[in-house]
Chain A
Amino acid sequence: MAQSTVEIATTKPRPMSLSWLGVMPFLIFALMFLILPAGYLVIGAFQTPDGSFTLQNIANLNQPTIIRAYRMSIAISAASALLGSLLGFALALAIVLGKLPRWVRPMLMTFSGVASQFAGVPLAFAFLATLGRTGLVTALLFNIFGINIYRYGFNLLSFSGLTITYLYFQIPLMVLILTPALDGLKREWREASSILGASTWQYWRMIALPILWPSLLGAFMLLFANSFGAIATAYALTGSSLNIITILLYAQIRGDVLHDPNLGYALALGMILITGISNGIYIWLSSRTGRWIR
């Protein structure tokens, strides 16, 4: 069977086989450095150390440290995605429909492009210099208004601090995703609805938002996954003191803090599921929106 295929390929070099040759490096690369490594962990999550099938690793996820880490990660991701979506949506609305001078839009879009990529360790440094204990804004608030935000329970190395920090790239990302969607709202729809006697409110509720909601929800999902998988900013801000799932997994990879390698695989599987579902919804929704917004 194998021999006959080789024979056909050598005696009759069809363009078909040549084009498969062109995508082979890509497919092999994806298999070796993307699919198999992830698959290895997924399979490992259902194995005992000696290789037999088990569900015990998944059951072992149910311990306070791990549950708290997942919960904290989900809370921070949801909060930064929700606030990022709302603020980013408002900003995108202002950019597209605000009738602002023409220089505003390219400037804000460039800012957004830069800020959405400005993450990781340097972002942590920037927010330490801004809202840390000796940060500029902390000092200004204290010197001008007499407000010590740290006395009121604010802490940069916590849920609220990390959420505010993540918003620095979440808001611009939302602006970048939503601006094209808002551009797709046709002026005629607005005109047609006002001719038919609709108010601005009715136009938004019955026309614009139904068209926009897949983009909005999809972008929310992308933002959620974006911060769920992030680690560098949180690690540089808090060291390993903040118990979020990526930092826990990092510690597990470095030093097996859970004392159970296969539990580490189950931890990774849980992360893949969460980012997979949220990104899956984003990808599905963004393929749907293509129909309206063109």
Chain B
Amino acid sequence: MKESRLFPWLGVIFGATYFLVPLIATFEFSLRMERGRYSFEAYRIVLADPYFQASFGYSAVIAVCTILVGIALSVPTAYVVQLKLPRLRPVVEFITLLPLVIPAIVIVFGYLRMYNSSSWLPLTSSARGTDLLLTFSYVTLALPYMYRSVDTGLRAIDVRTLTEAAQSLGSSWPRILLTVILPNVRVAVLSGAFLTFAIVIGEFTMASLLNRPAFGPYLQRIGANRAYEPAALAIIAFAITWACMGLINLFAAMGRQTQRR
């Protein structure tokens, strides 16, 4: 049976076009800042902008905190659910899917009402408190991806045997988690971490409504006021997303290799 390959190729060409044309257009646009010739002037201006550096640095720190809190919540929970409390699995999985059900803007709306300066836990009345709240909001945003990644990683290893071996050698619970379980799911944890980074670094809604000087609101402000810099920023943001996804693929490939050995 010889089937025509025309349509599959047309599909692939269409997909590649849809994917590439906006990138090419954005890149071309970002080079047009100086009249009559292509230059990297827009990139130079953006990278030298102190607000760019400050907001990107701020978002990067928040992203790292988000990743740490996300790991600290996901790994023990997925571990205990798999080993001791399998009947809790549906509940926990339902909770991890809730951030898909409740839009981000609604979650942060709830925070602003529950944790405002006149509430029982006035997190938004100080900058550090709001940073904490922003981190937690990002943890919820990344939870479906982080938890699923860790859970898949835990299912692929023999948690019970590893735990019993560690226990019979006299390990404490924290030590089992940190030195036995965590290294064995490091590929899963890392891919969850980079996905979290990609989601958090340019996030706009939550940072903007919580009034924090993050990268997302900075991007929006530049977009409203400048012509060529936004295109340069879009290319930079795309490069960051690409790097995160590339690292995930790289770690996944490394993980497969170590398993085969």
Contact = CB atoms under 8 A, between A and B. Distances in A.
Interface string B43-74: 00000000000000000000000000000111
B29 A167 contact: no
A135 B230 CA distance: 13
A111 B19 contact: yes
Contact of A94 (B8, B113, B220): B8
Interface in B25-47: 25-26, 28-30
A232 B220 contact: yes
Contacts of B219: 120-122, 125, 236
B153 interface: no
Interface string A218-233: 0000100100110110
23 contacts: A22-B77, A22-B80, A23-B85, A23-B88, A26-B77, A34-B95, A87-B15, A91-B14, A98-B7, A99-B3, A111-B16, A117-B244, A120-B202, A125-B234, A136-B29, A168-B19, A168-B22, A236-B220, A249-B105, A254-B209, A271-B105, A271-B106, A275-B103
Contact of B107 (A38, A95, A172): A38
B118 interface: no
A203 B181 CA distance: 46
B191 to A, nearest CB: 11
Give the 5 A-B residue pairs with the shortest CB-CB distance, closest first: A37-B110, A98-B8, A229-B103, A136-B25, A94-B11
Nearest to A261: B113
Contacts of A130: 21-22, 25-26
B255 interface: no
Interface of B: 3, 5, 7-12, 14-16, 18-19, 21-26, 28-30, 72-74, 76-77, 79-81, 83-85, 88, 92, 95, 97-114, 136-137, 139-140, 173, 195, 198-199, 202-205, 209, 216, 219-220, 223-224, 230-231, 233-234, 237-238, 241-242, 244-246, 248-249
A123 B85 CA distance: 42
Chain A, interface residues (CB within 8 Å), range: 35 or more
A280 interface: yes
Nearest to B8: A98
A280 B100 CA distance: 10
A41 B110 contact: yes
A34 B98 contact: yes
B110 A99 contact: no
Interface in A194-216: none
Given A100-B8, A122-B234, A232-B205, 4 more contacts: A23-B76, A33-B111, A136-B29, A229-B106
Interface of A: 15-16, 18-20, 22-23, 25-27, 29-30, 33-41, 44, 87, 90-91, 93-95, 97-100, 104, 108, 110-111, 113-115, 117-118, 120-130, 135-137, 167-168, 171-172, 175, 222, 225, 228-229, 231-232, 235-236, 239, 246, 249-250, 253-254, 264, 268, 271-272, 275-276, 279-280, 283
